[in-house]
A and B are shown apart, each in its own frame.
Chain A
Amino acid sequence: MMVNEQIAIDHGLKKDEYAKICELLDRTPNITELGIFSAMWNEHCSYKSSRLHLKTLPTKGKQVIQGPGENAGVVDIGDNDAIVFKIESHNHPSFIEPYQGAATGVGGIMRDVFTMGARPIANLNSIHFGSPQHKKTKNLLRGVVHGIGGYGNCMGVPTIAGQTNFDSSYNGNILVNAMTLGLVKKDKIFYSKAAGLNKPVIYVGSKTGRDGIHGASMASASFDEKIEEKKPTVQVGDPFTEKLLLEACLELMAGDSIIAIQDMGAAGLTSSSIEMASKGNLGIEINLNKVPCREANMTPYEIMLSESQERMLIVLENGKEEKAKKIFDKWNLDFAVIGKTTNSKKIELFFDNEQVADIPVNTLVENSPMYDRKWKKAKLPKKNKIKKEDLKNLKIIDVLKKVLSHPNVCSKEWIWQQYDHTVMGDTIQKPGGDSGVVRVHGTDKAVAASVDSSAVYCWAHPLTGGKQVVCESFRNLISVGAKPVAITNCLNFGSPENEENMGEFVECVQGIGEAAAYLKFPVVSGNVSFYNQTKDEGIKPTPSIGGVGLIKDYKKMITMDFKQVDNVVLVIGKTEGHIDQSLLARNILNEKNGPPPEVNLFNEKNNGETVLKLIDAGHIKSAHDVSIGGIITAISKMCIKGNKGINLKKPKYLINEIEYYFGEDQGRYIIEVSKDSLKKVTDILNKNAVHYDELGTVNEDQLFINEKTKVLIDELTTSNTNWLINYMSK
């Protein structure tokens, strides 16, 4: 087939991009080469619209071993232990085929982590669906949850935390973001940089099939009414093979045979081989006849663009082939020497004794397009028009029940019970808390992880929203007693070609960067997913932040359930009653305007660090961060989890009770302390200039405000647990 401009456009390339390819090659590419260019230059692989802005993120820190640019980020947790982690999106495929889309998302991110030599020890996910009333939502939710469970459970890696949100902006584009943490010895980390000439290039894992061809290109475009036709671009996962691949790779990695290793993810053999060559400043020569294929008569084009799962590319030391093959034979996996490293700095592909591609590596990587897209700065919205009098008329308990049963607040047990969260025997905080926590096997250390997003705040004001998500992650880690170490981000946005969407992206990234720098909470890995839109309708800007923290002594971990009657409950941080963009304003009063709560980074850091000090000194019995739904929602959850109640004192502020209890001011935590240690605790808070209010004391079984305003915790539990179960059983 002769390549021309139209064929290039059909591959998702722009006219000028095609012209640039011809110029770089000094000739017209053949069809295989065009396929390779389109795979490497699409948004998903090249980050052409986002690179410029991602560069501004803080990526360095005392504990950072590896920042963005590798398969995953790596942080030092002491004693020669390191945590490898990353979050990645699988939005587009999951909307087309929820089970396989979600499953392969989980498989892909685990591969990114064990490619670096780390054994995965925890999975997390952030999933966003359309309105519960939308006709597709229920099936998508069921399919995604089954897919995540189907893959993670089979791999034997616990799914320890996550987040599920519903909003009509995801009606036509759901989000599935999967995160994995792995544990590795600091001196046994593997990278994707090839080195040395004439080193054998090895293909291991599953055979290559015709599935997922152009998956990465599909993920770089908007959806339209022909979405069903895209099903063949979705990959099919086989967690069993991945489990074998994991064990085989770790077995090979225990020796010294591997020079470089890279998983075949988006754009399969194309991006993996090019990445290894590019990082090593080398060339790679591949004989495509040697690639193990599942189907007969596959063309070079198909082999290079297949996104079949569970495959790895390895550059081995010379002479280690036999030893390596033995390991893969033991695990019943394909093993083939398919090429070698060269000094040509080119990707040279051969098929049936003919050269079918000859492309300088730098044209695919360094010379790939980078755009400084136009973007629009967002204005801070004006305060909304909710009247104080209207708030006063609300009945606290009725509102509270509505909030607790809201899809974005209610218990997600129906979901996480389908995930094996206890396999590996180190999960000491299961889903449903502020963070999931797993012990570092055989040590006193534990690692906490949380994944958060606040699309509503980001939509109202991207800069504030970006900061807020990072702070929320920070708080969720601190609430379990973990010192925040670093984050990974998954940036889900609409089309970068739309100035407003691009503006949302740019300003969210600014916000993330600002907060991450201030809190010394660097970004070590991540991924960008643009074009989350169907026709012209895009999602709310949704950066998901995966935070990782360290607990030095796991026995000091904190959970959120109230522990003992008569203990005193405090709220840390100042409550000003910010109602705009709160769950109360948006979902109970139906007022969608107004600015999100302000983020004060100084207070955020100071409050968080002081809470950590209190935890370290052993003063805190339970803790929970205050997020959507405000103080009373946070307290109710602590009551529900602990099967205890609380007597609330009357707040002594000018703002009314509704604002006090449902406002979503930032930088706050609820903590439970014993009466005996109250004085010590308030001394420490005062000394550190941390604002706090005493909220009340723990009781047996009810939330008590006054004789007229009280409710049994059992009733709140029912409100909180029933919504999702009822929704899914209808």
Chain B
Amino acid sequence: MKSSVITFPGSNCDRDMDVALKRFGFKNKMVWHDDVELPKSDLVVLPGGFSYGDYLRCGSMASKSKIMKSVINFANSGGMVMGICNGFQILVETGLVPGVLLRNKYLEFICKNVFVKINNKQNTYFKNIDNEVLEFHIAHNEGNYFCTEEQLKEIEDNEQIAINYCDKEGKTEEQFNPNGSIKNIAGVFNKEKNVLGMMPHPERMIDPYLSGKDGSLFFNNLINNLK
């Protein structure tokens, strides 16, 4: 399986994602934001970080960079595109996934483990995962997902909500919402479910010596689903 990780100026989880993808069997290529052509890929990842220093709005400048034209075309033709953290913010700015990401409710950066409930397993990302709940890791300042009521209804009807913040048991109550996201939303798909944007960092959960191992489960499953 071939993957590509896009590096924007200010990306800082690009190496971590490269390490993770390679560990689980992807042949990964790093792609510079200023390039025009996307290498042949089964998966394109927009990594976390602070592309363009979060200036203007998180993700907005990166969404206009040269490579993004190819990424958008790739996504629109059914290609798998995953945006993590800042990558999610970029996806939102391109309009590939609906909604916006506001500043965290308590106005503070949050770095900690969280539980997320898988809301939809009818897609290449989460198909065949036995668990209902995964332990992931978040590290962000602007992860407060928001959308209009009409949009919310639409993404609910289309089952575009990928994961919700919850507790160990999968309860998605407000108290388990770290950042104020509407409906505890931690990740969303596009209509076709080939594009996934999410705030949690699975690449930081690939080793029991790090924060945990549910990231391993996620990547293992993902590459098997792609095969």
A423 to chain B, nearest CB (A): 6
Contact B13 A244 (CB under 8 A): no
Q: Tell me which residues across on chain B come within 8 A of A212, comparing CB atoms.
A: none
Q: Tell me which residues across on chain B come within 8 A of A330, comparing CB atoms.
A: 34
Chain A residues 124 to 160 lying within 8 A of chain B, measured CB to CB, are 146, 149-150, 153-156
Contact B10 A420 (CB under 8 A): no
Given contacts A243-B10, A244-B9, A244-B10, contact A422 B210 (CB under 8 A): yes
Q: Tell me which residues across on chain B come within 8 A of A425, comparing CB atoms.
A: 15-16, 19-20, 203-204, 206-207, 210
Given contacts A420-B139, A422-B139, contact A154 B210 (CB under 8 A): no
Contact A154 B16 (CB under 8 A): no
- Which residue of chain B lies nearest to A554 when distances are taken between CB atoms in the complex? B209
Contact A240 B50 (CB under 8 A): yes
Contact B13 A423 (CB under 8 A): yes
Bound Cα distance from A418 to B106, whole angstroms: 11
A422 to chain B, nearest CB (A): 5
Q: Tell me which residues across on chain A come within 8 A of B48, comparing CB atoms.
A: 423
Complex partner residue of B109 from A153, A156, A331, CB under 8 angstroms = A153
Q: Which of B12, B15, B16, B49 has the largest number of chain A CB atoms within 10 A?
A: B12
Judged by a CB distance under 8 angstroms, whether A677 is at the interface is: no
Q: Tell me which residues across on chain A come within 8 A of B209, comparing CB atoms.
A: 428, 439, 554-555
Contact A153 B110 (CB under 8 A): no
Chain B residues 46 to 73 lying within 8 A of chain A, measured CB to CB, are 48-50, 52-55
B213 to chain A, nearest CB (A): 13
Q: Tell me which residues across on chain A come within 8 A of B50, comparing CB atoms.
A: 153-154, 156, 239-240, 243
Q: Mark B198-216, 1 if CB is under 8 A from A, else 0.
A: 0001011011011100000
Bound Cα distance from A239 to B53, whole angstroms: 7
Judged by a CB distance under 8 angstroms, whether B108 is at the interface is: yes
Contact A240 B52 (CB under 8 A): yes
Chain A interface size band reads: 20 to 34
Given contacts A154-B53, A238-B53, contact A420 B16 (CB under 8 A): no
- Which residue of chain A lies nearest to B113 when distances are taken between CB atoms in the complex? A422
Judged by a CB distance under 8 angstroms, whether A332 is at the interface is: yes
Judged by a CB distance under 8 angstroms, whether B137 is at the interface is: yes
Contact B109 A240 (CB under 8 A): no
Q: Mark A17-58, 1 if CB is under 8 A from B, else 0.
A: 000000000000000000000000000000000000000000
Q: Tell me which residues across on chain B come within 8 A of A421, comparing CB atoms.
A: 111
Judged by a CB distance under 8 angstroms, whether B153 is at the interface is: no
Q: Tell me which residues across on chain A come within 8 A of B9, comparing CB atoms.
A: 240, 243-244, 331-332
Contact B10 A418 (CB under 8 A): no
B52 to chain A, nearest CB (A): 7
Q: Tell me which residues across on chain B come within 8 A of A239, comparing CB atoms.
A: 50, 53
Judged by a CB distance under 8 angstroms, whether A417 is at the interface is: yes
Q: Tell me which residues across on chain A come within 8 A of B207, comparing CB atoms.
A: 425
Q: Tell me which residues across on chain A come within 8 A of B54, comparing CB atoms.
A: 154, 240
Chain B residues 1 to 46 lying within 8 A of chain A, measured CB to CB, are 9-10, 12-13, 15-16, 19-20, 34
Q: Tell me which residues across on chain A come within 8 A of B19, comparing CB atoms.
A: 425
Q: Mark B119-141, 1 if CB is under 8 A from A, else 0.
A: 00000000000000000010101
Given contacts A243-B12, A420-B139, A422-B211, contact A156 B111 (CB under 8 A): no
Contact B55 A240 (CB under 8 A): yes
- Which residue of chain B lies nearest to A155 when distances are taken between CB atoms in the complex? B12
Contact A422 B204 (CB under 8 A): yes
B109 to chain A, nearest CB (A): 5
- Which residue of chain A lies nearest to B211 when distances are taken between CB atoms in the complex? A422
A260 to chain B, nearest CB (A): 27
Bound Cα distance from A166 to B50, whole angstroms: 33
Contact A156 B53 (CB under 8 A): no
- Which residue of chain A lies nearest to B15 when distances are taken between CB atoms in the complex? A424
Q: Tell me which residues across on chain A come within 8 A of B211, comparing CB atoms.
A: 422, 430
Bound Cα distance from A155 to B49, whole angstroms: 8
Judged by a CB distance under 8 angstroms, whether A427 is at the interface is: yes
Contact B139 A153 (CB under 8 A): yes
Chain A residues 528 to 567 lying within 8 A of chain B, measured CB to CB, are 554-555
Bound Cα distance from A243 to B112, whole angstroms: 23
Q: Tell me which residues across on chain B come within 8 A of A241, comparing CB atoms.
A: 53
Q: Tell me which residues across on chain A come within 8 A of B141, comparing CB atoms.
A: 153
Q: Mark A394-427, 1 if CB is under 8 A from B, else 0.
A: 0000000000000000000000111111111111
Contact B53 A417 (CB under 8 A): no
Chain A residues 420 to 450 lying within 8 A of chain B, measured CB to CB, are 420-428, 430, 439
A393 to chain B, nearest CB (A): 42
Bound Cα distance from A156 to B108, whole angstroms: 17
A31 to chain B, nearest CB (A): 36
Bound Cα distance from A512 to B30, whole angstroms: 47
Contact B55 A422 (CB under 8 A): no
Contact A156 B13 (CB under 8 A): yes
Bound Cα distance from A643 to B177, whole angstroms: 24
Q: Tell me which residues across on chain B come within 8 A of A554, comparing CB atoms.
A: 209
Bound Cα distance from A243 to B11, whole angstroms: 9
Complex partner residue of A156 from B49, B110, B204, CB under 8 angstroms = B49
Contact A419 B109 (CB under 8 A): yes
Q: Tell me which residues across on chain A come within 8 A of B110, comparing CB atoms.
A: 417-418
Bound Cα distance from A244 to B211, whole angstroms: 28
Contact A417 B111 (CB under 8 A): yes
Q: Tell me which residues across on chain A come within 8 A of B12, comparing CB atoms.
A: 154-156, 243, 423
A320 to chain B, nearest CB (A): 23
- Which residue of chain B lies nearest to A426 when distances are taken between CB atoms in the complex? B210
Complex partner residue of A417 from B10, B15, B112, CB under 8 angstroms = B112
Q: Tell me which residues across on chain B come within 8 A of A244, comparing CB atoms.
A: 9-10
- Which residue of chain A lies nearest to B13 when distances are taken between CB atoms in the complex? A423
Bound Cα distance from A458 to B43, whole angstroms: 58
Given contacts A422-B111, A425-B19, contact A240 B53 (CB under 8 A): yes
Bound Cα distance from A240 to B201, whole angstroms: 21
Bound Cα distance from A425 to B207, whole angstroms: 9
Given contacts A153-B139, A154-B10, A332-B9, contact A420 B49 (CB under 8 A): no
Q: Tell me which residues across on chain B come within 8 A of A149, comparing CB atoms.
A: 109
B31 to chain A, nearest CB (A): 14
Bound Cα distance from A239 to B52, whole angstroms: 10
Q: Tell me which residues across on chain A come within 8 A of B139, comparing CB atoms.
A: 153, 420, 422-423
Bound Cα distance from A423 to B50, whole angstroms: 12
Contact B10 A428 (CB under 8 A): no
Q: Tell me which residues across on chain A come within 8 A of B55, comparing CB atoms.
A: 240
- Which residue of chain A lies nearest to B51 when distances are taken between CB atoms in the complex? A240
- Which residue of chain A lies nearest to B108 when distances are taken between CB atoms in the complex? A418
Bound Cα distance from A244 to B203, whole angstroms: 23
Q: Tell me which residues across on chain B come within 8 A of A332, comparing CB atoms.
A: 9
A102 to chain B, nearest CB (A): 14
A139 to chain B, nearest CB (A): 14
Bound Cα distance from A416 to B15, whole angstroms: 23
Contact A419 B111 (CB under 8 A): yes
A729 to chain B, nearest CB (A): 9
Q: Tell me which residues across on chain B come within 8 A of A423, comparing CB atoms.
A: 12-13, 16, 48, 139, 204
Bound Cα distance from A154 to B109, whole angstroms: 11
B179 to chain A, nearest CB (A): 12
Chain A residues 215 to 253 lying within 8 A of chain B, measured CB to CB, are 238-241, 243-244
Q: Tell me which residues across on chain A come within 8 A of B49, comparing CB atoms.
A: 156
Q: Tell me which residues across on chain B come within 8 A of A153, comparing CB atoms.
A: 50, 109, 111, 139, 141
A12 to chain B, nearest CB (A): 34
Bound Cα distance from A156 to B111, whole angstroms: 13
Contact B210 A428 (CB under 8 A): yes
Given contacts A240-B52, A423-B139, A425-B15, 19 further A-B contacts (CB under 8 A): A153-B111, A154-B50, A155-B12, A239-B50, A240-B53, A243-B12, A243-B53, A244-B9, A331-B9, A418-B108, A418-B111, A419-B109, A422-B111, A422-B210, A423-B13, A423-B204, A425-B16, A425-B206, A428-B210
Listed from nearest, the 6 A-B pairs whose CB atoms lie closest are: A156-B12, A240-B53, A425-B16, A154-B50, A420-B139, A418-B109
List 16 A–B pairs whose Cβ atoms lie within 8 Å, in order of A's numbering: A149-B109, A153-B139, A154-B10, A154-B50, A156-B49, A156-B50, A239-B50, A244-B10, A417-B109, A417-B111, A419-B111, A420-B111, A422-B201, A425-B16, A425-B20, A425-B203
